[in-house]
Structure 1
Amino acid sequence: MSVCKVIVMGVSGCGKSLIGTRLAERLEVPFFDADDFHSQANVAKMASGVPLTDADRSGWLDDLAELVRVEQKGLVLACSALKRAYRDRLRAGNPSLQFVYLRGDMDTIWSRHSSREDHYFNGRTMLESQFRALQEPEPDEGAITVDVSELPDRIVERCLSALGAPDRTGES
C-alpha cells in the first residue's frame, strides 16, 4: 500500500481520537489530533460555549493542511472537518488524502459526549451547533462512512478494509 494519509472526521464526541489512534497504530503511521493545533483564543472561545466561526478556523485549517502535506510517511489526523469547504482546503495539495466519516445521531453522540471529562468542548449547545454546521461528505468526495454505534474494533476493521490496508488479522 502506498503512503496512507487519513483524516477521521465527524462531530465532537463521535470517536475521532479513539478510532484515529487505533487506525494509526494498525497503519503504523503517526497520529495527530487537530484539537492540539487550535489557537489559545479558539480553545478559550469553545471552553466558554461559543462556537467557532469560519474565520476562527482559517489559520487552523491552513496549519492542518500543511501538516498533512509534510508528513511524507503518512498520518492519521482526527479533525472535525464539518464542512465540504474545510475538507477541500485540507485536500488541497494532498490529492491522496482519504476521509473517514464517523456518522452518528445526536442522541448517541450526546450520551458519549456528556460522559467525557477534561475536554474544553463545552455543552449540548456546542454539539448541536456542530450538527447544524455538518455537511456530510457527498459521494464524489469518496469518504469512507462508518456508523459510530458499532464497536471500535469493528469500525477500525471496516476502515482498514476500505483503505485497502494489508490484512493483519489477530492484531488489536
Structure 2
Amino acid sequence: MVKKIIVMGVSGCGKSSMGQRLAQHFGFPFFDGDDYHSPENVEKMARSIPLTDADRYGWLQTLNGILRRETCAVVACSALKPEYRELLRTGVEDLEIVYLKGDIDTIWQRHQKRNGHYFNGRSMLESQFATLVEPVDEDVITVDIRQSMDAVFSQCVAQLTELA
C-alpha cells in the first residue's frame, strides 16, 4: 500500500492544492515543501533569482527527513531533477511520485492569478522549466494538468489506488 506520496512539478502546476486534496482523501498529513525553504532561498526567489543545486540540497534533505520520519505523508515538492528525486527517495519505503505535467503557457496563466506567493516572475518559471528533467524513464505517475482539477484529482487517486 502507498503510504507516502510526493506531488512534483514546476511552480504553479498545482502541487500544494493537489497534495492537500490527496492527503485529505487518504487521511495522511500534508507537508508543503515551500514551507521548508530557508529564508535565504525565499529571498532569492522573491528577487527572481533561480535557486542552484546547492541552494536546494539542504531543503531536499529536510523533506527527505520528513518522509523518513512520518508513517504516512503527502509532500509537495518541485523535485525537478532525477538526482533531487533520488535524494528524496533515499531510505523511504512505500513511496510514489505524482508528476503534475503542464506546459509553460498553462502554468503561467495560473501564476498570474496567484496572490502573495514569493515565487516571482515569468523568468523564474522559465528557469524551472529549463531545470526540469521530466521523469519519463522513472517509476512516476504522470498526470496532465490541462484538465480540470477534479479530473486531475480523480486520475491521481485512481492510479495511486491501483498501485495499492
TM-score normalised by the chain length of structure 2:
0.96
Partner of 1:11: 10
Contact 1:27 1:165 in 2 (8 A): no
Task: Output the CA distance in 1 between the equivalents of 2:49 and 2:148.
Answer: 31
Task: From the superposition, tell whether residues 165 and 23 of structure 1 become closer, same or farther in structure 2 (CA, over 3 Å).
Answer: farther
Partner of 1:102: 100
Percent identity between the aligned chains? 56
Contact 1:8 1:20 in 2 (8 A): yes
TM-score normalised by the chain length of structure 1:
0.91
Match of 1:155 among 152, 155, 159: 152
Q: Does 1:118 pair with 2:106? A: no
Matches within 5 A, 1:1-172: 2-72=1-71, 74-139=72-137, 141-164=138-161
Task: From the superposition, tell whether residues 30 and 165 of structure 1 become closer, same or farther in structure 2 (CA, over 3 Å).
Answer: farther
Larger deviation, residues 151-160 vs 56-65: 151-160
Partner of 1:170: none
Q: Specify the code of the residue in structure 2 equivalent to 1:88.
A: E
Task: From the superposition, tell whether residues 101 and 84 of structure 1 become closer, same or farther in structure 2 (CA, over 3 Å).
Answer: same
1:159 deviates by 0.9
Task: From the superposition, tell whether residues 165 and 70 of structure 1 become closer, same or farther in structure 2 (CA, over 3 Å).
Answer: farther
Task: Output the CA distance in 1 between the equivalents of 2:12 and 2:136.
Answer: 22
5+ residue gaps, structure 1, are 167-172
Partner of 1:169: none
5+ residue gaps, structure 2, are none
1:96 deviates by 2.3
1:165 deviates by 6.3
| Segments ≥4 residues shifted beyond 4 Å | none
Would you say how many aligned residue pairs link Structure 1 and Structure 2? 163
